[in-house]
Amino acid sequence: MGDPFGMTTAHVMAAGMCGIRTAGDLVAWMQLTRRMKIDEAKQYVAAKLGISVLDLSNEEVMHQIREELDIGIISGPADATKGVAARCRIAELLDISIHSVNIFKEKLNAPLTPIA
């Protein structure tokens, strides 16, 4: 988008998918990891979620889906998955390789080397 002074919000509300409120981050991952153009990226995510492309930006549908899949929701309750843990679930859901997730899992699953 670009700066400055609060203009971001205007662009997001006028034309953005609205990120974690809906499926914005999921579609963004497809552009970042597979270079998909917007229509292809939306179709891919919609197919994975089993919903229509129109519902990807429908809060009434997407909030419930995100809550049920536990992939991070806008309200961020303390007992819900968020952050890198949510991204791990998103990578699995979308069947994509996310670098930060891979690094996290590498560290998580690395064998404990006994102290000599």
Partner 1 sequence: MTEKFLTRMGDGERVSLTAEEIREDLEAGNQDAAQRGNIPALSSDELDQLFAIVTDPNRITAVRPGREVITTDDGGANMIVCDKPDGGVGLPMGYHNAVLAFERLCCADTIGVGHYDYSCKPVKALINYEKQRYYMYSQAATIPLIYGTQPNLGVYFQPDGPFPNATELIPAGKIKEGQEAQEAAAEALIEDLIYIAGELYDAGCDGFNFDTCASAGDADFYASLTAVEALKAKAPDMAVEVGMASEFVLGMHSEIEYKGTRLAGMYPTEQVKVVEEAGADIFGMAVNVNTSESFPWNLTRAVAFLKATVEVANIPVHPNVGMGVCGVPMLSVPPIDCVTRASKALVEIGKADGL
Q: Does 6 bind partner 1 (CB under 8 A)?
A: yes
The 3-state DSSP class for residue 78 equals coil
- Site for partner 1 (CB under 8 A): which residue of 44, 45, 65, 72? 72
- Binding-site member from 43, 51, 57, 67 for partner 1 (CB under 8 A): 57
Cα dihedral value 8, 35, 21, 17, nearest 10: 60
Query: Per-residue x/- marks for partner 1, 11-50, CB under 8 A?
Result: xxxxxxxxxxx--xx-xxx-xxx-xxxx--x---------
Interface ranges with partner 1 (CB under 8 A): 1-21, 24-25, 27-29, 31-33, 35-38, 41, 53-54, 57-58, 71-72, 74, 76, 82-84, 86-87, 90, 97-100, 102-104
